[in-house]
Amino acid sequence: PRLSRRVKLLRDLMLLLALAALWAILVQPSFTPEMAMERAQTYYHFGPGTVIRSAQVPPPEESDPLFLPVLFDENNQYFLLRYQEWAALVRCGRRGLLWDWRTPDFWRPDPEAPLTCVEANGYLAGTVQDPQIDRITVHYDLTYREVNYGPLLRLPRSAETRDLQGGGFLLTLQRNMENIVVRAYDAAGVLLWEGAPVDT
């Protein structure tokens, strides 16, 4: 027997709902940056970590048009996480209505050091273990060639932050960095620590 128009519409609606449910199960879409961050933790079997700070990715203090730009705006959010003796930087970006995560960076903070930091694709992220730290500076060289196969040129650059809320920080720098030196100072300007980012 032929199906009535109402039954056909109901059948088509049920089929669409089933396909939408299957898509949600397989794709696991993230409608918020928090959902994307949780998906990243699940994928890498990390956590659930404690968010020590999260915010919009800050713009760089100095932008160089010669270099690949790093991502910063309202469509890019970051999370600094702690889980047991590990820390992680998870960056999330929005594409249309959905949020996606980028490969996280993991490191083990040194409990004996005032701070531990990592360089990750043009960002400097870290955890602060010493509450006396008031300011962090970073000095580095940008490397580039004006022409293909030309001499490698180096431009000295620096940045700093006092935003250490939650015991962590993130600086947006540039890609193609070398000779990175990080320094931590107390409120009186006394140098408490000097070193380089650890490997992730």
**What's the rounded Cα separation, in Å, for the pair 189 and 83?**
32
| pLDDT for position 41 | 94
**What's the rounded Cα separation, in Å, for the pair 95 and 101?**
11
Residue 70 has pLDDT above 80, yes or no: no
Dihedral (Cα; 15, 21, 93, 161), 10-degree rounding: 160
Structure tokens at 123: 């960002």
| pLDDT for position 64 | 63
pLDDT digits (tens, 9 = 90+) for 98-133: 999 989 999 999 999 999 999 988 889 999 999 999
Residue 162 has pLDDT above 80, yes or no: yes
List, in sequence order, every beta strand (DSSP E) within the chain: 50-56, 76-83, 86-95, 98-101, 105-107, 115-120, 123-128, 135-144, 153-161, 168-172, 177-185, 191-195
Phi, psi of 35 (to 5 degrees): -65, -40
| pLDDT for position 174 | 81
140: closest CA among 176, 190, 194, 106?
176
**What's the rounded Cα separation, in Å, for the pair 68 and 176?**
9
Q: Strands 191-195, 177-185: parallel, antiparallel or unpaired by DSSP?
A: antiparallel
Which one of 3-7, 67-71, 157-161, 174-178 scores highest in mean pLDDT? 157-161
9 versus 85: the higher-pLDDT residue is 85
| pLDDT for position 39 | 93
Dihedral (Cα; 41, 199, 149, 151), 10-degree rounding: 140
At 148, the pLDDT band (50, 70, 90 cuts) reads: confident
Domain ranges of the chain: 1-29, 31-195
Helix (H, G, I), strand (E, B) or coil at 108: coil
Answer yes or no: are the C-beta atoms of 75 and 59 closer than 8 Å. no
Residue 69 has pLDDT above 60, yes or no: no
**What's the rounded Cα separation, in Å, for the pair 163 and 169?**
7
Check: pTM over 0.85? Answer yes or no.
Answer: no
